[in-house]
Amino acid sequence: LTMPFELQPVQVYMEAQGEDSDEFLPRYWAYLYGLYLPRVLSFERLDFRFELAQPFDNNSTRPTFWYLHGKYISGYTYKGVIIGHPMGTDSRDTFMELTWRVQEKSAKVSLAFDHREHNLSFDVNEREREMSIRAGLRLTETTDLQLAYGYALVDDAGNVSGEERRIRSVEAGITRRF
């Protein structure tokens, strides 16, 4: 839904996905709610995104084990890794991203914050806070360069009370279009 307010245009969106069941409609649903500002006030090159994602049971407001299935034992996974939203199963995710675009250079820089809570139905649940910076630049008409750095703090890692982890990641990529 786009609200083209002159001072601040706003886009609101929602996504719903359900897992297969023997019933007519899916039994387990996950919802993603989002707010997107295609520009921030008078800053045409700056945009902002906020998203909240969490799976819910049809009959309650408690989180469910999304991406797991009674018939399909491996769930929606490939080599043990969930194919889908990065929050994973039995989780909640809050995401914010601020992006600066430089159209004449076909470039952008994004700062993001992601807060995930995993295993919500456990007595102790893992919490992850990740900050990242990403940059992309068009080198030629057919070649793009991407760079990223991320830093995450994980509390109660592996659902162990008091267990902490710090994770750093660096990514680099070149995309070539033919």
How far apart (Å, rounded) are the C-alpha atoms in residues 162 and 165? 10
Q: What is the pTM of this model?
A: 0.83
Q: Which pLDDT score is estimated for 102?
A: 93
Q: Which residues pair with 146 in a beta bridge?
A: 136, 173
Alpha-carbon separation of residue 93 from 118, 123, 152 (angstroms): 9, 18, 14
Alpha-carbon separation of residue 104 from 45, 107, 111, 137, 148 (angstroms): 11, 8, 20, 11, 21
Question: Percent of the chain having pLDDT more than 90?
Answer: 56
Mind listing the pLDDT tens digit for each residue in 12-69?
999 988 776 677 777 777 889 999 999 999 899 999 999 999 876 655 555 566 666 6
Mind listing the pLDDT tens digit for each residue in 69-89?
666 666 667 776 777 777 777
